[in-house]
Amino acid sequence: MTKDWTGNSNSIYKTLGASNHTDKERQNEDYYATDPKAAELLLELETFSQNIWECACGEGHLSKVFEKAGYTVKSTDLIYRGFGEGGVDFLSDDITFWNGDIITNPPYKYAKQFIEKALNIIPEGNKIAMFLKIQFLEGKERKKLFLSNPPKTIYVSSSRLLCAKNARFDEMIAGGGSAVAYAWYVWQKGFNGTTELKWFN
């Protein structure tokens, strides 16, 4: 039988969109840096309050874009990576209020908790924006989240944006980029209407 497909050992995982196909390969602290272009494009789509908290800032890939745009940015992370303030657990019970908006690419396995916490601590009418995989729309537990706290807008990226393990963007590009589709999920606290789906990039 003649093969009609060729590829290396990594190709099937890119086709499936699986960036975490082995436990060994997965980054320990779930650190996948976001292409700054994602933040630049978000600012073309939405306006935010002057104060932004980037609560999983990594090396500042998103924070630096917001700062350049004139926002006052609080940058924290559980792990210090040479930028912002390290040792800050966003999910800690000690964090009870933030007078501004919250924008981040959260650790994926804790994304639901990050969203719920962010909505709980911001004032009515303020926003949170989370950069997440399209697959985040799936799942019964997430369905409960979306029904009780519907996003105001979900912006699906028509072209691929990168989230690079340990911020190694060059290695990712050299390996053929990413097959994972991402979107910006934007909530406005108090919104209880129908989520609008839009495309960008």
Total structural domains within the chain: 1
174 belongs to a structural domain: yes
Q: What is the CATH number of the domain that holds 64?
A: 3.40.50.150
191 belongs to a structural domain: yes
Contact 127, 187 (CB under 8 A): yes
Contact 131, 104 (CB under 8 A): yes
Structure letter (DSSP) for residue 59:
T
Contact 31, 191 (CB under 8 A): no
Helix %, strand %, coil % for the chain, to 5?
Answer: 25, 20, 50
157 belongs to a structural domain: yes
4 belongs to a structural domain: no
Structure confidence by residue, pLDDT tens digits, 149-180:
999 999 999 988 866 565 454 554 444 455 68
Contact 64, 71 (CB under 8 A): no
At residue 164, the pLDDT reads 55
Contact 44, 184 (CB under 8 A): no
At residue 36, the pLDDT reads 92
120 belongs to a structural domain: yes
Structure confidence by residue, pLDDT tens digits, 57-115:
999 999 999 999 999 999 999 999 999 999 999 999 999 999 999 999 999 999 999 99
At residue 162, the pLDDT reads 67
Length of the chain: 201
Q: Rounded to the nearest 5 degrees, what angle is found at the Cα of 108, between the Cα atoms of 29 and 171?
A: 65
Domain that holds residue 39: 30-200
Quick one: how far is CA 80 from the chain centroid?
18
